[in-house]
Structures are given as C-alpha cells and as structure tokens.
Homo-oligomer: A and B are copies of this chain.
Amino acid sequence: METDNSMPDRILVADGQHLFRTALHDLARKAYPLAEIREADGFEGLMACRDFNPDLLLVDFYCPHYDAVTSAKWLRGEYPASYIVLVSTVPDQKVVDNVLDNGVDAYVSKFAEERALLAAMTATANETLNEVRIDEKDPRGGMTGRQREVIDLLVQGKSNKEIARVLKISPFTVRIHVSAVLRYLDVDTRTAAAVKATGNGISQSHVLQRDSERGR
C-alpha cells in the first residue's frame, strides 16, 4: 500500500447522487489524505474533467444511450492509465464480469460496507480484486447461463426475435428460455419479469415491484 505506484495523486469521483458522491469523496480522502480529489456530476461533469487525468476514478456511470460494456470501453479510452472503480448497483454478476473485462478495474456495490469500498479504492491492478467484486445476492443464482443471457436481453425490452438474433439461436429456443425464466421468477409475463429482474430503481435493496422512472 505504500509503494509509489499504488498511491494515487489525483482522484476523480463521478456520481450523479450528490450526497453519495460527497460520501465517496470523504471516503477517498480518508484513504488518501494527500491526493487531489475532484467531483464530477454525471456525464457532463466527467467530460469537464478530461484534463484532470486522475490515477483513480470512482464512478457510477453509463454513457448516455449506451450499454455497460460500451460505457466501460469509453471510460477506459478516456482514462487509459487510470484505475477505474465502478461504484454502482449492478446486481448481475455477468454484467459485472463484462465491464471488468472491458476497461473497468474493479466493481463495488453501492450497498457495500465502507470496508469493501475502501478495499476497492485501495486495491491496484496488481492485487486481488476478486474479493471486492460483487457482494450482493444475485437473484438469478439458480438460473442457467443461457437463461441469464436471455433475461439480460429481455430486461432491455428486446423481443424474442431480437434476443434470438443476438444469441444466434432460434426464436423457438429463446421462448424455451424465456418460459423457464418466467417460471423461475414466478411471473406470467416478460414485462413482469423485466420489472422483477430489473428492480424498480427506487430501493435496490428492498424487493418491490411498483413504479419508478427513467427516461431515455
């Protein structure tokens, strides 16, 4: 921890939630009292910090209109030398693995304890981050690999035909998987499955199925 390259000089904290961002900032300050820490609010804030060149990037972030992997790649492209920690609420191990394979160095759930958050931001690429990854229960634990791929696409609003195209299998086969997913989630329709699998955005830790938001 006291090696030269594991001690970031510049830390960028990017998150749209003001209070959470502040808390992350404080935590980063606690971990690295000497570092210069900046905050960025959303995509625009991130764009405004292109010259900051942080060593460590703590971010809850998706490129507008793009998916997780694309966003991860974009981040890596923008910050090729930074240690990028995604602090978010992705509940799917598969997506986490995907972003970890595409530019993001570490992932921590927003529900994680301080300890885990600190561990993530003090870890470096040389160290083990497996322990830092996801610490939330995955409701899809009982699903097969294919079923998870299908539900991942389903919650994007994709039709069976589209899912089939993506996975390069028959729409008939997709229906098999969808059907199994519905049974697993104990719902009747794909929309209900999407809602249940997606969470509602209001309180990721507490199950629910009412309402929400989000635009485009």
Interface residues of A (CB under 8 A from B): 15-20, 22-24, 27, 41-43, 60-71, 88-92, 94-95, 110-114, 117, 136-140, 152, 154-159, 185-216
**A17-B205, A111-B18, A206-B16 given; A199·B213 CB < 8 A:** yes
**A157-B187, A191-B191 given; A199·B216 CB < 8 A:** yes
- A214 vs B212: C-alpha distance in the bound complex, in angstroms? 12
From B89, B193, B199, B202, contact of A157 by CB (8 A): B193
Interface centre among A191, A210, A213 (most CB of B within 10 A): A213
Q: Are B18 and A214 in contact (CB under 8 A)?
A: no
From B187, B199, B214, contact of A92 by CB (8 A): B214
From B91, B110, B114, B207, contact of A212 by CB (8 A): B91
Rounded to whole Å, the gap between the CB of A184 and the closest CB of chain B is 11
Interface centre among A62, A70, A89, A216 (most CB of B within 10 A): A216
Q: Are A90 and B23 in contact (CB under 8 A)?
A: no
**A155-B211, A195-B157 given; A68·B202 CB < 8 A:** yes
- A67 vs B15: C-alpha distance in the bound complex, in angstroms? 27
Rounded to whole Å, the gap between the CB of A157 and the closest CB of chain B is 3
Given A61-B203, A155-B212, A191-B191; 13 other pairs, CB 8 A cutoff: A19-B112, A20-B110, A42-B206, A62-B210, A89-B202, A89-B214, A90-B211, A91-B214, A92-B214, A156-B195, A157-B191, A198-B213, A207-B214
